Amino acid sequence: MDARTLEVLEFDRLKELIEPLVKTPGGRRALTGLVPVSDPDEIRRRRDLSSEALVHHKEGERLGPGPLEDPDPILERLAIGGLMLEAVEIARLISIMSAADALRESMSASASRFPLLWREAGAIPDLRPVTRQIAGRIAADGRLEDTASPELARIRRRLAELEASVQRAMQEILDASADRGVLQDAYITVRGSRFVIPVRAEARSQVPGVVHGRSSTGATLFVEPLATLDANNELVSLRDEEGSETARILTAWSDLLRGMLPAIGQSCARLAALDLLGAIGAFGVAHECVAAGEPGARASIQAGLSLREVRHPMLDAGLRSSGRTPVPLTVDIESAAGALILSGPNAGGKTVALKTIGLIALMNQAGLPVPARAAILPCYALVAADIGDHQSIAESLSTFSARMVRIGTLSRTLQAPALVLLDEVGAGTDPEEAGALAVAVVDHFRRRGAAVVATTHHEELKTWAAATPGAANAAMEVDERTQQPTYRLRPGAAGRSGGIDLAGRLGLPGDIVEAARGRLSSERREAKERAARLEQMVSAQEAALADLERQRRELAARGAALEEQSRRDQEEHRLQWKKATESALASIQKAQDDLLTRISDRTTQLQVRAEARSASRALREELERQLAAPAPGEPASVTGAGTRGTLRAGQRVTVAGYKDVALVDSVDAKGRIRILIRGKRMSVAPGDLTPLETPARDSPAARRAMPPGVRFERTRQTETPVEINLIGATVEESLERLDRFLDDAWLAGHSQVRIVHGHGTGRLRAAIGKFLDAHPHVASRAHAGERSGGAGATLVTLRD
C-alpha cells in the first residue's frame, strides 16, 4: 500500500489503539508489522480469522496466552552451537512452550465452532515430551531442584549432612569458648565458601585453625577451627561436584532444546499470531466492530462499497472518553469505477468523512473488523489518498504544485480496482481553472477503474457529479435554524460552502461580511438562494419519509403484538381445555376402577375391564380430536400448493417420504401444519401432504387411526409373537395375560393368533371362550385343526 496514504490516514495511530490489548512481545512485533495488503486471498484469510476472533471474544473468552517473557533473545543464544543456557533462560523458554501447549489444548475443545482459529492453534507443535522432562525442575530463583538428576540429589544430600555436621562441631566450639573472652560474637559465618567463627585478634592462639579473613578494624579474625578442616574441605569438593553436575544438566537440556529449535520457533510464532488475533477481537468488541463483507459474492472488481453507520476509530475513542457520542457515516458508491463528491461548509466534516472512508478501507485491507453497523468493501489493489498541505520549501513546491505532483504519481501507479481519496481537488489556483481541473482529475481516475471520493467547493464538480452516470453528490448537513454543521452526510444533495456565513460566525467584522455579500454577483446570489431552498425541500422530504417509516414500524410492531397475544390466548384456551379433559378422564377412570373392584367374579371383571378400556380409548380419541380442532378465529383448514385437497385438524394424510399414515394435529393462523406420525409430532409444509378420505368414525379404519396425544406406534410383526401358551396358569392369570397379548397382537397388525390352553377339565377353555366373545379386538374364534392342537388350542381372527 501507498506509504503516504498510511501516514495521512493515520494507520499507525489505529494500531496504537490495539497495542494495549496485546499481551506478549511477539504479539507486539506482529502488530508493528501489520500493514494493509492488496492480495484478495490474503485479505479474506485475515478477515475470516479476525471475524472468528471477534465472535470468540464476544463469547467471553480471551484468545491467546497471558503475559510471557520475550523468547527471541533466548532463541538467538540457543541457535549458537554448544552454548549452554542459564537455568533462568531455560525456565523461561519452558514456560513459553508450556503456554503454547496449553493454548493448543484449550482451542481443541472449540475446534468445530472456530475452525480457522483452531487451524492456527492446531499448528502449534506438541512440545510436551520436552517440557515434561524439564518443567518443575528449576526453582523460581534459577536454582536447579534436587529432582533435576539422581546424582545432583545425592550430592546435595551429602552436602546437607556435612553442613549440619560442621555447624554442630562449630557450635560446640562456640559454646565452649563463650565464657573465656575468646569470641567477638557467638555466630557461624562463611568466608571463601568455608564455615568460620569470629575470634578476637588478641585471643588468636586460643583457637587453633586457619584464618580466612579479618574485620575492617582488624579486631576480629575469621577462623576455621582445625576440628572442622577436613569436613570443610569435603564441603568445598562437593560444591565443586554440584557445580559440575549442574553444568552437565544445563548443557544436556540446552542441547535437547537446540534440537527442537524449529518447532520452538514455530510455537512462538503461532503464539504471537494468536495473541494479536486476541487483541483484534478485544478491540472489535470494545469499538462495536463488525467483519466487513464483499460485494456480489466476492465480485470485488464488479461493485463499489457500502458503509452503514461507520465511525472513525480514533475520533470515536476520543469522543467516548469525554462522554460524547460520534455521528456515524453512511456512504454508498454503486460501482467499482464510481465517484462520490462531498460538498458542504468549511469545518462541516468533509475531510473527516474522507479520512473515515479511507481508514475503514485500510482496516479491511489489513483484515481488521471495522467500527460500523455493516460494511461491504471490495478488495482494492490500491488505496491512495491526497489529503493535506504538501508544500515543500526545500523542493521549491507550492501547495498547488506539490498536490499536482502527488496526483501525477498516483495516476502513474494506479492499478484497478482502486480507491482514490482527493481532498479539495484543484484548490490553490484560479477558481475557474480549478473547477475544470477538478472535473478532469476525478473523471480521469474514474475512467481508469478507480472508485473516487473527493471533497470540493467547486460548483463545476458538483454539476458534473449530478449529470454523470456512476457519479453522485453528497452534502454535509447544516442545521437550518442555527446554521451549525450536524456532521451528517446527506446523499444525493450538493452542499453549500457558506464561506461568508462561516467567516461571520468566526468573528470577522460585520461590515466586512456584508461587503463580501455585496460583491457577489446577482446571478451567484440567486444560485445560492436556489440551492438553499432546494436543501430545505430535501430536508423536509427526508423528515417526512422518516416519519412515515417510524409510523410503519409502529404499526408493524402493534400488529405483531396483537398476533402474538391472540396466539397466546388460543394456546391458553387449549391448555385449559386439555387440563379439564384430562381431569375428567381421570375422574372417569377412577370411578370405573372403583366399580370394577365391586365385581366379585374375576372373569366378568376382566371382560368388563376390556370393554371399559375400549370405551375409554374411544372417548379419549374424540376429546383429542376436539382439542386439535381450530380455535375460534383460527382457520379450520389450509390448502397447500402441492396438496390435493383441503387440510384440517383431524385429517388423515400421507407424507412425502413416509409410508405411514399421519394425522393432522393442528393448522395455525399462518397455515403452518403440525402432524402426528409414528407417535411423534412434527411440522411440515402443506405441499408435502396428501389428504386421505376420512372414514366413518365407527369403521375399522377409524379405529386404527392414532388420535393426537397417544404416544405409541405399532410394533413390527417380528417383535410380537402370534401364539400364547396358557397351560398351567390359573383362570385369572390366563385372562390377564391373554388381554395384554391381544392388545399387543392387534397393535402389531397380526390378523390371526393361536391360544394354547390344553384340554384339562375344560374350565379354562370355557372362560377363555367367554372372554374372547366380549373382547373388542376379536372378530371370530374357532378350535384349531388337528395338526394345530385340536380342542386344546383356539384360533382367533382379529379385527382390522
Confidence (pTM):
0.60
Reported as type and span, the H/E element at residue 538 is helix 522-597
For 284-346, list the strands marked E by DSSP: 289-290, 306-310, 329-332, 339-343
Q: What is the DSSP letter of 775?
A: -
3-127+260-286 is a CATH 2.60.120.10 domain: no
Q: Which residue type occupies 14? A: L
Q: What distances in angstroms separate CA 60 from CA 119, 285, 572, 580, one per listed residue?
A: 20, 10, 38, 47
Class of domain 717-798: alpha beta
**Residue 725: which residues within 8 A CB-CB, separation 6 or more?**
756
Query: Which architecture, in CATH terms, is 306-519?
Result: 3-Layer(aba) Sandwich (3.40)
Least Cα distance to 197 among 233, 180, 181, 221 occurs for 221
Classify 377 as helix, strand or coil: coil
For 471-526, list the strands marked E by DSSP: 471-478, 485-491
Mean pLDDT by 10 residues, the chain (800 residues): 87 94 94 94 94 91 84 94 93 94 91 93 93 91 92 93 87 77 78 84 81 83 85 88 94 94 94 95 93 63 77 88 84 86 80 92 95 92 81 49 81 88 78 81 90 88 87 77 66 63 61 64 54 60 75 83 81 78 75 69 63 64 58 47 59 78 78 74 79 51 42 49 88 87 82 87 86 87 79 86
Q: What's the grid cell of residue 83? A: 552454548
* Crossing angle (nearest 10°) for helices 602-628 and 731-748: 30
Q: What is the DSSP letter of 330?
A: E
CA–CA dist 66, 64 (Å, integer): 7
Q: What's the grid cell of residue 224? A: 576455621
Q: What's the grid cell of residue 515? A: 461587503
* pLDDT score recorded for residue 590: 75
* CATH number for the domain whose boundaries are 148-254: 1.10.1420.10
CA–CA dist 452, 471 (Å, integer): 9
CB-based burial label for 649 (10 Å; 0-12, 13-18, 19+) = buried
For 95-251, list the strands marked E by DSSP: 189-191, 194-200, 209-214, 220-225
CA–CA dist 331, 507 (Å, integer): 34
CA–CA dist 529, 522 (Å, integer): 10
Length reported for the chain: 800
